[in-house]
Structure 1
Amino acid sequence: MTPAARIQAAIELLDSIIAAARAKGAPADRIIADYFRARRYAGSKDRRAVRDLVYRAVRLCGPVPASGRAAMLAVVAQEPAIAALFDGSPHGPAPRAEGEEAAKTGLAPKWLAAALRASGLDGRAIAALMDRAPLDIRVNALKADRATLELPEAGEPLAAPQALRYPSGTPVESWEAYGEGLVEVQDLGSQLIIEALPLREGDTVVDLCAGGGGKTLALAARLGNAARIIAADTDKRRLGNLAPRAARAGAAVDEIVLLDPGREMAALAPIAGKADHVLVDAPCSGSGTWRRSPEGRWRLDPAELARLNHLQDRVLDIAAQLVRPSGTIAFVTCSLLDAEGADRITAFLARHPGWQVEPIALMLGASHGPGWRLEPLRDGTDGFFIAALRSP
């Protein structure tokens, strides 16, 4: 591909990503993968260059751009050398028209930037959400140990006992150790959360929003398969990945339960009032993971945030039905918005008299309202809020 053709490819991809963001469709990484799957002629250097252009534009544009071309023109304003590539050459972008405007830049739409500031983040902390994230792995303690495991590349040891950090793009999933279940890709923040949970061997633990099972596998590893672990979710596709992942990792997951949205307790009735601990890794905006998926801020609007808050409240109420007397709930969101963290705990306590907030502290981060928060700028992790609740 010529340099101009790379620019045009980035514009086409940005158009698709913008449309998907508005329609709450596929994420950017899947759109990019599908685009190049249909264009086998593009070499690895071309794919890397186009991908970098796309994400440069996404990170630069706070409000949703009008078009991919407008987003790329915003990049031109930062890197004037690219302007010469808008030359109308074959497979390249048409010349810039007189008065053609670039997309507005910024960290996020105004309402969202205001919400982040109201949640205690300053400009530097918000800007850090647009940085490029490293790649963290968890050495699977069921099969190996960080101190002795030999890997193709030496990673940086981190605060969590089995965590290692690598540069973004390190091909960990092609390593033999990954195929054998010796390592899992997992952000340091997620690992620290699992380490901090008040769990004991022999507990019955429910991972209520298990998804693909990243935290489920970490729970099994931390407890040495000496607990009863039940993983549940409403997403059949993601939950379907858990069994083969658990087999590869040697993780004992006692039950995998597919939930019917709106009728969750029908499937969970056998364990109602019996769980020692319920992990609620609740669906959220993902504002704490924008370093990895910066187009996420284009997907969020006040109506979507309200929908997520309703869902978070509902999942917490389900968790309360599962916990035994004096049992605990851990509520986690990968968000830095108080609307998806501290506010949800306050609302839960108002609905459930007698429940109490339990002190919780991680090896990194700081207390935040009724819970604890991790931030990319301060802690070098994805952004998380976690709170622990104890039943009467």
Structure 2
Amino acid sequence: MTPAARVQAAIELLDETIEAAKREGAPADRLIAKYFKQRRYAGSKDRRAVRELVYRAIRHCGEMPKTGRAAMLGLANSDETLKMLFTGEGHGPKPIGENEVAAEPGTAPSWLMEELAKSGISGEAAQALLGRAPLDIRVNTLKAERDGLVLPEPGEILAAPQAVRLPAGTSVEQWEEYRSGKIEVQDHGSQLACMAAAAKPGETVIDLCAGAGGKTLSLAAAMQNEGRLIASDTDRGRLSKLAPRAERAGAGIIEPKLMNPGAEMDALEEFHAGADLVLVDAPCSGTGTWRRKPEAKWRLTPAQLAKYGELQDMLLDIASKLTKPGGRIAFITCSLLDAEGADRVAAFLERNPGWSAEEADIPLGTPRAKGLRLDPFQHDTDGFFVAILRSA
């Protein structure tokens, strides 16, 4: 592909990304993979270059642009080399019209920027949400220890006890250490959030929103494969991915439990007031993960944000029924909005006067109301809110 043809390919993919954001369709990375699966002639350099252009344009635009071309024109206004490729030659984009409108630069839609600012995220902290995410791994202590493990490539030792940072793009899935379950890919912030939960050997622990089990595996390692670890979710597809991951990791105490939406307690009735720890890694807007999915900023609406808050309240109430007297809830969201963090904890404590919030014991984090916040700017992690709630 010529450089101009790469720009045109990026424009087409941006059009697809914008439409997908409007209708809650596939994420950008999946659209890019599908696009090139249908265009086998494109080489690896072409794929990397087009992918880079797509994500650069997404990060450059605050409001959702009307078209992929408008998004790319907005990027070209700050890159003269890119602008020179709008000639219409070599399968490239047609020349720029005199009255064409380019997308304005920005970080996120204005309403969302206001919500972030009210939550204490603005300026450089807001811009950092759209940086480039690193590649972090967790050494699985069921099979290895960070101090004694020699990896094919050296990495940076991080604050979490078993965390290592590697160069972005490292193909760890090809390593024997990954295939044998000695390491797992997990963001440093996610590892710290699991550390805050402080799961212990012999406890009864419920991962209420386990998904594909990334945090479940971390809990199993902390428990040293001793106790009961229930991995529950309402998504059969995501939960089905846990079993092979658990087998590879040697996590033998995990018990998958599929729940029906709206009837979660029916599946978990045997654990009523019986759990030492309930991890609520609640569905949320994902504002803390924009470094990995920058187009997510275009998918969120005020109404959706309100629905996430209602869902988080419901999950916390379920968790409180499952927690034994003196037990605890670890409430986690990968969001930097108070509406999905500090506000939810405050509302829970108001509904449950016998409960209290405790300080999370982790080496990084900034206090935020009754919890801790991790963010890309201050801690170079994905964004998280973490709160530890203790039953009377």
TM-score normalised over the length of structure 2: 0.98
Contact 1:246 1:253 in 2 (8 A): no
Quote how far apart the aligned CAs of 1:353 are.
2.5
Structure 2 equivalent of residue 167 of structure 1: 167
Contact in 2 for aligned 1:361/1:367 (Cα 8 Å): no
Partner of residue 361, structure 1: 361
After TM superposition, give the deviation of residue 36 of structure 1 in Å. 1.1
- Return the alpha-carbon distance in structure 2 between the equivalents of residues 158 and 297 of structure 1: 28
Partner of 1:252: 252
- Preserved contact between residue 210 and residue 216 of structure 2 (Cα < 8 Å): yes
Q: 1:123: which partner in 2? A: 123
**Residue equivalent to 2:333:** 333
- Structure 1 counterpart of 2:113, which letter? A
Q: What is the CA deviation profile of residues 113-142 of structure 1, one whole-angstrom value per residue up to 9, with x for unaligned ones?
A: 111111112301001111101100001111
1:316 aligned partner, one-letter code: L
1:40 corresponds to: 40
SS at match of 1:279: strand
For residues 130-188 of structure 1, the C-alpha deviation after alignment (integer angstroms, 9 at most, x for no partner) is 11011000011111111221211101111111111012211111212111111100011
Paired residues for 1:207-226 under 5 Å: 207-226=207-226
Q: Is the 8 A contact 2:246 2:254 kept in 1?
A: no
Supply the AA of the counterpart residue of 1:129.
L
Alignment correspondent of 1:93: 93
Secondary structure, aligned partner of 1:154: coil
Aligned residue in 1 for 2:350: 350
Matches within 5 A, 1:188-337: 188-337=188-337
Q: Are the counterparts in 2 of residues 181 and 249 from structure 1 also a CA contact under 8 Å? A: yes
1:318 deviates by 0.9
Q: Which residue of 2 aligns with 1:177?
A: 177
Secondary structure, aligned partner of 2:268: helix
Q: Does the Cα contact within 8 Å between 1:229 and 1:252 map onto a contact in 2?
A: no
Task: Name the counterpart of 1:30.
Answer: 30
Q: Per the alignment, in what secondary structure is the counterpart of residue 148 of structure 2?
A: coil
Tell me the distance in 2 between the aligned counterparts of 1:16 and 1:253.
43
| Match status 1:383 vs 2:391 | no
Shift of 1:325: 1.2
CA distance in 1: counterparts of 2:34 and 2:334, whole angstroms: 27
CA contact (8 A) 2:128 2:377 kept: yes
Shift in Å, 1:256: 0.3
With 197-206 and 381-390 compared, the bigger mean Cα shift is at 197-206
Distance 1:68 1:37 in 2: 20
Residue number in structure 2 paired with 1:73: 73
Provide the secondary structure at the position in 2 that maps to 1:329: strand
3-state SS, counterpart of residue 304 of structure 1: helix
- Secondary structure of residue in 2 paired with 1:81: helix
Shift of 1:229: 0.3
Conserved? CA contact 2:196–2:330, under 8 Å: no
Matches of 2:163 and 2:182, distance apart in 1:
12
Partners of 1:204 and 1:229 within 8 A in 2: yes
Preserved contact between residue 349 and residue 355 of structure 2 (Cα < 8 Å):
yes
C-alpha distance in structure 2 between counterparts of 1:359 and 1:128, whole Å: 26
Task: Report the Cα distance in structure 2 between the residues aligned to 1:263 and 1:81, rounded to whole angstroms.
Answer: 57
Shift of 1:90: 4.3
Unaligned stretches of 5+ residues in structure 1: none
The aligned residue for residue 58 of structure 2 is 58
Identical aligned residues as a percent? 60
Range moving further from structure 2, 189-198 or 202-211: 189-198
Structure 2 residue 138 is matched with structure 1 residue 144:
no
SS at match of 2:124: helix
CA distance in 2, matches of 1:214, 1:373: 20
SS at match of 1:295: helix
Shift of 1:271: 1.1
**Which runs of 4 or more aligned residues in structure 1 lie more than 4 Å from their structure 2 counterparts after TM superposition?**
none
Corresponding residue SS for 2:291: coil
For the residue of structure 2 that corresponds to 1:230, the secondary structure is strand
The CA distance in 2 between the partners of 1:254 and 1:51, in whole Å, is 37
Q: Is the 8 A contact 1:229 1:255 kept in 2?
A: yes
CA-atom RMSD in angstroms: 1.1
- Mapped partners of 2:233, 2:347: distance in 1: 23
Structural mapping, 1:92-111, within 5 Å: 92-111=92-111
In 2, the alpha carbon distance for the partners of 1:358 and 1:46 equals 51
In the aligned structure 1, how far is the partner of 2:358 from the partner of 2:156? 32
Are 2:133 and 1:133 aligned?
A: yes
Q: What amino acid is the match of 2:26?
A: A
Moved more, 88-97 or 64-73: 88-97
Give the match's secondary structure for 1:332: strand
- Runs of 5+ consecutive residues of structure 2 not aligned to the other structure: none
